[in-house]
Amino acid sequence: MVILFEPSDTVNKQNARAASTRARSMRSSWPRVMWNLFRPHTLTASFIPVLVGSALAWRTTGHLHILLMIAMLAASTLIQAAANMFNEYFDHVSGLDTAESVGIAGVITEYGVRPKTILRVAVAALFLATLLGVYICACSSWWLAAIGAISMLIGYLYTGGPYPIAATPLGEAFAGGFMGCGIILLSCFIQQKFVTGADVLASIPSAILIGAILTANNIRDRDGDKSNGRRTLAILLGHERAVRFLACCLVAANLWIVALVAARILPLGALLVLGSLWPSVAAIQIFRAGGTPAQMMLGMKRVAQTNTVFGILLLIGLL
């Protein structure tokens, strides 16, 4: 009897061809994978505070170190991107993210990227941020190295480690404090070598709005987070009270600017930020209607847009 083929060999060849096809597909889609992995729609939360802090310093001193500002922009964006990658990795490993999850980069579930690859890219992003940090410290103060190291650690611990910060009611406070106040004040310091009380007060709205982005995210994911044992602020408050809390945050950020203008701490042009209220209203309407995470995803985007529009209008007002 003549055996024309071995079934096992055929299966192996088919698997090899399939793997080769996936590899070619991955290479062709790698730019899109990286784009999704960076989550560009979230990066305004890292670079707008740099611009606002630099504008505050410019108003105080009358000059601006452009290269330092660019280095700070790049470092902040890389740290934010790394935090996004850690989030993608740890949420997948813990089983929190699946193919049906809403609002994730999807590079693991959709493109089949290995989780360890994402971890390596995240570490590479932090390494590049460290190199930029060395330049920033050399031009300002080496004390900033400790602050930079803490910021990177928080970026990792936000979703990594045995007790992720994102799984607690403190997620909004950490994100707002480090990305809002922290980035603005660091950007002020590297430009003018000091920080004023007015700088601190002007950074508060950014912290509030970045915290609001996390609140919106947690409202959308509340049911899934609860079933996975998380204890976010949205879970503790419940849907209706969490939406009211979100609305209060969005209004408070604007009222804070109005108060600073009234106190002559900020120029009259800062009132332009009131133009950010329209996406805020749209966001609250969407979240009040409730529904599935996919239906509330638009509300999440509207809150992120609020932060972006607010920051751009504040920047224009400061200039």
Q: Which two tokens stand for residue 77?
A: 């964006």
Q: Which two tokens stand for residue 15?
A: 């698997």
CA proximity to 273, closest of 315, 222, 214: 315
Q: Band the pLDDT of 319: cuts 50, 70, 90.
A: confident
Please state, in angstroms and rounded to a whole number, the distance separating the CA atoms of residues 91 and 161: 11
Which pLDDT score, from 0 to 100, does residue 30 have?
Answer: 66
Is the Cα torsion angle 38, 41, 45, 49 positive or negative in sign? positive
pLDDT of residue 305 exceeding 70: yes
Q: Which two tokens stand for residue 85?
A: 């990658």
Element (H, E) at 27: helix 7-38
Prediction pTM value: 0.80
Q: Which two tokens stand for residue 138?
A: 């050399």
Please state, in angstroms and rounded to a whole number, the distance separating the CA atoms of residues 177 and 173: 6
Q: Which pLDDT tens digit goes with each residue over 46-70?
A: 888 999 999 999 988 888 899 999 9
Percentage of the chain beyond pLDDT 70 is 81
Regarding predicted confidence, which is higher, 192 or 229?
192
